[in-house]
Amino acid sequence: MKKILQLLIFMICSLLVADAQNSEKATKKEALLPYDNPIVKQRADPWVLKTDDGTYYFIATVPEYDRIILRKAKTINDLKKADEKVIWTKHNKGVMGAHIWAPELHSIDGKWYIYFAAGDAENIWNIRMWVLSNESKDPMEGEWKEEGQIITKRNSFSLDATSFEHKGKRYLIWAQDVLEGESGTALVISEMKNPTTLVGPEVVLTRPEFSWERMKYNVNEGPAVLKKNGKIFVLYSASATNHNYAMGMLWIDEAADLLDAFNWYKSPGPVFYSNEEVKRFGPGHNSFTTDESGKNVVMIYHARDYKEIKGHELSDPNRATRARIVGWTKSGFPDLLQYKRD
């Protein structure tokens, strides 16, 4: 019975992906999206947070992997020319000394937090999740305090933490090496006791099981949460960070138990991926915000405008931040407009 149910779920997922692709093909000839892309050059893993007063804050990975930066502006397009401030720099030795990756800015209970990944200066691949905090009204000001590491039950390679609140509880989703018998990362969820501490079970939501998630590396990472139409969607990235990088989607009914993996559904194919026709290669590691009107969901993500990379993909600095308005299918699912030019 369980195998039959899983097959039915797979078929439903396939139909929903087709729904999104067919919806989007119909809009292929529409006008270009209203953003001056790339929004920010040489900035990967972008995260944009819009405050209640309409200010946009931008944070991302820099190609040197050595510092955390912030920008702010009144419009998404204005992030391009906004002044950039270095608010934290890696340690010269020990933990938080290398591979400063994928910072995210969150406002929680009147305080600012930045979740980020970092390796050790002496062991750059010993990557774990870390937290900074700031009590200033404006995160561009004040002092950033090191809150320490987010401790997981399994002490292994972990990164890309994102936090969200649902029905009075706060959750963390992150990528971690929890695969048995092979290297790679799965996405894990846990409830949080506070903005720096996990509590309760740590549940694996998705593993790299399909071929498009296992190109060069076995990777599920970069989760981004979007709540709409009675569902919680998690967009995530998979495979190596070259042209094979692509995005998949998980979703769950908002009334379901988030910590029961069986309640989550997964798209069998990627929902956003390289498109040579529009010179978009390796799109992924996104975040969501809203446009200036507050009416439209905007996806912020990175991609390159060329396919061939000299050397290792992580040494190439030209992942650039882009923005696009998200469409919606008749079924109420996000449509990332795969065939539409930025």
The answer, yes or no, to whether residue 25 has pLDDT greater than 60, is no
Note if 209 is an active site residue: no
Residues constituting the chain: 342
- Lowest-confidence range among 10-14, 199-203, 303-307? 10-14
Q: Tell me the C-alpha distance between 247 and 239, whole Å.
A: 9
Nearest to 116 by CA among 171, 156, 61: 61
Distance CA 234, CA 265 (A): 10
Q: Where exactly are the structural domains of the chain?
A: 2-335
Other C-beta atoms closer than 10 Å to the C-beta of 6 total: 11
292-298 long-range contacts, CB within 8 A, separation 24+: 292/54, 292/75, 292/76, 296/325, 296/326, 297/226, 297/228, 297/325, 297/326, 297/334, 298/48, 298/76, 298/323, 298/324, 298/325, 298/326
Domain 2-335 homologous superfamily, CATH? Glycosyl hydrolase domain; family 43 (2.115.10.20)
Which is catalytic among the residues 104, 221, 335, 342? 221
Q: Which structure tokens are listed for 231?
A: 């569902």
Q: Which long-range contacts (CB under 8 A, 24 or more apart) does 141-144 make?
A: 144/87, 144/88, 144/114
Averaged pLDDT score across all residues of the chain = 92
Of 285, 279, 272, nearest in space to 314 by CA = 285
Cα–Cα separations (whole angstroms), residue 247 to 50, 283, 285: 23, 7, 8
Higher pLDDT, 94 or 20: 94
CB 108 within 8 A of CB 170: yes
Q: What is the pLDDT of residue 74?
A: 98
Give, as one character, the DSSP assignment of residue 8: H
User: Percentage of the chain with pLDDT > 70?
Assistant: 90
Asked whether 249 and 224 are in contact (CB, 8 A), the reply is no
Is residue 82 predicted with pLDDT exceeding 70? yes
Whether the per-residue pLDDT at 304 is higher than 80: the answer is yes
Which tokens go with 47?
A: 């995260």
| Portion of the chain with pLDDT greater than 90, in percent | 88
Cβ burial of 293 (10 Å; 0-12, 13-18, 19+) is exposed
Instruction: Output the six-digit token pair for 183.
Output: 């290297």
In whole angstroms, what separates CA 275 from the centre of its chain?
Answer: 20
pLDDT in tens, 136-180: 999 999 999 999 999 999 999 999 999 999 999 999 999 999 998
Give the lowest-confidence range in 31-35, 298-302, 313-317: 31-35
Q: What is the pLDDT at residue 150?
A: 98
Mean pLDDT in residue range 18-36: 54
DSSP character at residue 40 = B
pLDDT tens column, 220-238: 999 999 999 999 999 999 9
CB 178 within 8 A of CB 158: no
The answer to whether 45 is a known catalytic residue is: yes
Cα–Cα distances in angstroms (integers) from residue 287 to residues 47, 139, 188, 271, 296, in the given order: 5, 19, 18, 15, 14
In the three-class reduction of DSSP (H, G, I as helix; E, B as strand; rest coil), residue 15 is classed as helix
What pLDDT sits at residue 15? Answer: 53
Give the pLDDT score at 29: 39
Q: Find the farthest-apart pair of alpha carbons in the chain and give their distance in angstroms, rounded.
A: 58
24 has pLDDT over 50: no
For residue 308, the Cα-to-chain-centroid distance in whole angstroms is 24
The predicted pLDDT at position 198 comes to: 98
